[in-house]
Structure 1
Amino acid sequence: MHRLLFVRVFTPTLRILLGICLSLSTLTALQAENWPRFRGIGGAGISSEKGFPLKWTEKDYAWKKELPGLGHSSPSIWGDNLFVTSAIGEGENRYLFCIDPKTGEEKWRREMQLKKSHKHRKGSWASSTPATDGEHVFVEFADEESYMLVGYDIKGNKIWEQNLGPFTSQHGHGSSPIIYKDLVIAANDQQGPSSVSAFNKLTGKPVWQADRTVRRTSYATPIIINHPNTNPQLICVSGATGVSSLDPETGKVNWTTGEFPMRTVSSPVYGEGLIFATCGGGGNGKLLIGVDPTGSGNVSETHIKYKRSTKLPYVPTPIVYEGHLYLWGDGGVVSCVDLATQKNVWTERVDGGYSSSPVCINGILYCMSETGEVAMIDASPTFKSYGKVELNDPSHATVVVANGRMFLRTFRNLYCLEAK
């Protein structure tokens, strides 16, 4: 009798509720498979997707597409749309491409005319990764006269653009936009007037602007963190401000560590309750700090919980994974730190020069070298290398994974490798 009653109650009332729950779970899972910004969801550089090989050859790619010009940006992906940028000449022609991630077929491209401009020998005029929410895509391009933030709908129609003013930099432009709720946020830390700004993603209308102290240009992309004891925080880094927390709704500063001694290129990363950020110069990281984000005001004496000054990345962004911090150096020296004890677990050399950032896919770190080799090692307190796969084309772009596919961007090509 009780069993029969359960069945009758379960059908139809609970069946509807169960269907709703399953639909929501499916939606969440699908969202988690996308790669909507630089270094994926939250800028963490972590994916749980499985099935990617540790060795492959040219014949294993689902497709390969040549991209015109040069670009160091990574793709961003949502569903059936992949977005990537490129530039031709000396920066006078910049492109945003929309590509079908299943086939490599180009859906549309949009061109923007800017002025010729200088760049670092390792840089490009298309180093900024687009940000997408599945319905829109936002991209940044800059020259000495203009810093452009442009929004398109999914079909490639321009919905708005904002010129943030002149962009003064020793090495060119490199940070990427991010999306938070109905806002698009741009970090504009440069040698001229600097700010962090938020715009309505549908209209481009300015929502807030936080002026910043001016020093050297920062190439770091911000992140949003959700600490259990605070409201959401927008985390930005620059040499002039160090690590700083802003209210993403208003731009009000929550706290700051005070200035870094050198330039910031690597982006901040959050894990195990701490924010990690580096500064450096000359191809080497000089200082890394781990900051507890629960403070207010100047937290330089109270909330910096970890410091390190040796064997650090300058350009590559660290990874926090399962209680460990992984530091992939520009010169191919990689370290693993136990965050519970703050002790260095291992330091190993994988060789090569690296201007991309590692990503962690199902517990394995993938990082693309400047000569176009994909190096793979375990994200584990026990060091294990899986060797390298040669792409025969230089690269400064970070590996991307979404919806069962890995995307490898080199100077001239975009490769797609499917999971099995």
Structure 2
Amino acid sequence: MRSFPATLLLAFGLLAFGLLTQWESLHAQSNTDWPAFRGSGGRGVAEGFPVRTTWNADPAAGALDGVLWQTEVPGLGHSSPVIFGDQLFLITAIADEGSAELEIAAGGKPTAADDNGRQQWVVLCYDKTSGKELWRQTLRTGEPRATRHAKATHANTSVCVDGRHVVAFLGSEGLYCYDMEGKLLWQRDLGVIDISKYGIGWGYASSPAIHNDRIALVCDDPTNPFVAVLNLQTGEEIWRAARTSDCERSWGTPLIHATDDATQVVVNGWPWIVSYDLESGKERWRLEGGGDNPIPTPFEANGWIYITNAHGAKSPIYVVRPDARGNLSADESAASKDAVVWSVERGGSYLSTPVVYGDYLYLGNSNGVVRCFHAKSGEKIYEERLGRAAGIVASLVAADGKIYCASENGNVYVLRAGPEFDILAINPMSEPVLATPALSEGVLYIRTTRRLIAIQ
């Protein structure tokens, strides 16, 4: 029997791997999965199913209505639900002694939490249809290597899933990769990553991002800020870009955006927002930021990249073309000016990542104000307040003609999508909501400070 040449076998292998990777990428873009923080591409949008408008998840407000299931979540975390197939994932930090508390109040003070005792960092996997816990794995046990803000937690980040790998990054507490059944494949320690200000560690919050066989991580510790890309299969570091002169601190998740000519990693920051080539780490473009605490995650809509930040002198919104190159703030050429589709100096959000839905961009703020801009022109449509103490920390999500605004006052506000400010419902959750909801097959999955609740 004649054997195939080694080169031909290699070609078949590469083709098979490429087809599998392409299938996984397409599957991750389906209407049923929410495979990372804010879903596919970080857009925060899910279509194809009707989604409930009104419900009651607070026993004190009357009979429960619209609750498919609910379960207590141990410990404390702002990690948002991530869904692939019928599996739902969360991260939490469980203190060995006492009950960790959050400072829930409007505004904020530079106050560190007093819970730096021994913790267990745990990834939890649930059946999304029933809420049954399928497995849990302890990522790390020990004392935190960095402090947290009184309003943050030791488990702020969300996992990222591609159908074969579950990646969890906790900053100072390490990087972990599991298979879908909870088997540890590999782990890495990237050292202490203390995202601090005023001498206080505010807590790590940048979730990982996956594209094919690459993982992108943002590690903007003020003493040694950097962005790194690693191999998904092995955890091997592919490249690392120092950001010492580019960013003093940031908490946003990186956007990996692929076009026909290249794939880039866009990272919010201050004083600079920077885009890097995914394969080489070389800088593609940069833009001078505005808010000195960059938290929202860049995302793609309409074929453009939307970025906002706030706190300090400015609260800008930038909309950038993916083929931008160079220093977009210093270059006065026509090409550079054309690279920024539109921008405003004031109107952006501080903590919550906005959402583009239909023709409009919606932004929620920690003071309860919601703003709406035309997503393609930048025209301001409205600026209204949701209600008393309706601080929006969680990012906005959209589906079925509605915008969902989860609030730290324990309500989820549902707005009618469109140019008119119209509150369709105010839904009680019993507890504050600071994690971003997930959507899958018409079900809203909402993590409160104590529970995970499915709304159908």
- Superposition TM-score tier, normalisation by shorter sequence: 0.7 to 0.9
Match of 2:377 in 1: 341
Instruction: Give me the whole-angstrom Cα distance separating, in 2, the residues matched to 1:101 and 1:88.
Output: 22
Q: CA deviation at 1:193?
A: 1.4
Give me the TM-score of the superposition, normalised by structure 2: 0.80
Q: Match for 2:254 among 201, 222, 226?
A: 222
3-state SS, counterpart of residue 96 of structure 1: strand
Distance (whole Å) between structure 1 residues aligned to residue 46 and residue 402 of structure 2: 10
Aligned residue number for residue 296 of structure 1: 325
Counting only pairs closer than 5 Å after superposition, residues 242-253 of structure 1 correspond to structure 2 as: 242=273, 244-253=274-283
Residue by residue, what CA displacement relative to the aligned partner does 1:253-296 show, whole Å, maximum 9, x if unpaired?
111114545120111122234322222227x9722222233222
User: For residues 288-308 of structure 1, what are the alpha-carbon distances to aligned partners after superposition, in whole Å with 9 as ceiling and x for unaligned?
Assistant: 222233222212142333222
Partner-residue secondary structure (3-state), 2:445: strand
Farther-moved stretch of structure 1 (173-182 vs 379-388)? 379-388
Q: Give the whole-Å Cα distance in 1 for the aligned partners of 2:343 and 2:268.
A: 16
**Aligned residue among 177, 198, 208 for 1:151:** 177
User: 1:334: how far off?
Assistant: 1.3
Native 8 Å contact 2:165 2:177 kept in 1:
yes
Q: Which residue of 2 aligns with 1:76?
A: 82
Q: CA deviation at 1:85?
A: 0.8
The AA in structure 1 aligned to 2:232 is K
Q: Aligned residue for 1:257? A: 287
Change (3 A) 1:261 1:48: closer
- Corresponding residue number in structure 2 for 1:14: none
2:397 matched to 1:367?
no
* Gaps in structure 2 of 5+ consecutive residues: 1-22, 57-63, 96-114, 197-201
Q: Aligned residue pairs: how many? A: 388
Answer whether contact 1:185 1:198 (CA < 8 A) is retained.
yes
**CA 1:321–1:59: 2 relative to 1, 3 Å:** closer
Which residue of 1 is the match for residue 352 of structure 2? 316
Bigger Cα displacement from structure 2, 205-214 vs 65-74: 205-214
Q: Render the CA deviation track for 1:173-202: whole Å, top value 9, x for unaligned.
A: 011001110112111112121221122212
CA contact (8 A) 2:31 2:48 kept: no
Distance in 1 (alpha carbons) for counterparts of 2:454 and 2:315: 35
Give 1:221 deviation, angstroms: 0.5
1:30 shift after superposition? 8.0
Report the residue type matching 1:107 in the other structure.
L
Structure 1: distance between partners of 2:314 and 2:454:
32
Q: Which residue of 2 aligns with 1:6?
A: none
The structure 2 residue matched to 1:211, chosen from 242, 245, 248, is 242
Aligned partner (choices 128, 132, 136) of residue 109 of structure 1: 136
Shifted more, 339-348 versus 284-293: the winner is 284-293
Seen in structure 2, the aligned counterparts of structure 1 residues 110 and 29 have a Cα distance that, compared at 3 Å, is closer
Q: Tell me if structure 2 keeps the 8 A contact 1:290–1:305.
A: yes
AA matched with 1:346: Y
Task: Report the Cα offset of residue 29 of structure 1.
Answer: 9.1
With over 3 angstroms needed to count, the CA separation of the structure-2 counterparts of 1:356 and 1:88, relative to structure 1, is: same
Secondary structure of the corresponding residue to residue 250 of structure 1: coil
Equivalent runs, 1:45-64 vs 2, <5 Å: 45-57=44-56, 58-64=64-70
Q: Percent identity?
A: 31
Partners of 1:259 and 1:69 in 2: CA distance: 35
- Alpha-carbon contact 1:241-1:256 (below 8 Å) kept: yes
Equivalent-residue separation in structure 1 for 2:346 and 2:234 (angstroms): 46
Query: What is the deviation of 1:28?
Result: 4.9
CA contact (8 A) 1:184 1:198 kept: yes
| Distance in 2, Cα, partners of 1:327 & 1:263 | 17
Residue identity in the other structure for 2:177: G
Residue 379 in 1 paired to residue 417 in 2? Answer: yes
1:411/1:261 CA distance change after superposition, 3 Å = closer
- Larger mean CA deviation between 189-198 and 75-84 belongs to 189-198
Q: Are 1:413 and 2:451 counterparts?
A: yes
Distance 1:147 1:246, change over 3 A: farther
Q: Which amino acid in structure 1 is aligned with residue 160 of structure 2?
A: A
**CA–CA distance in structure 1, aligned partners of residues 271 and 194 of structure 2:** 15
Partner amino acid for 1:360? Answer: A
Q: Which residue of 2 aligns with 1:274?
A: 304
On the 8 A contact 1:255/1:297 being kept in 2, the answer is: yes
| 1:122 counterpart (145, 151, 156) | 151
**Aligned CA-pair RMSD:** 2.2
Unaligned runs of 5+ in 1: 1-23
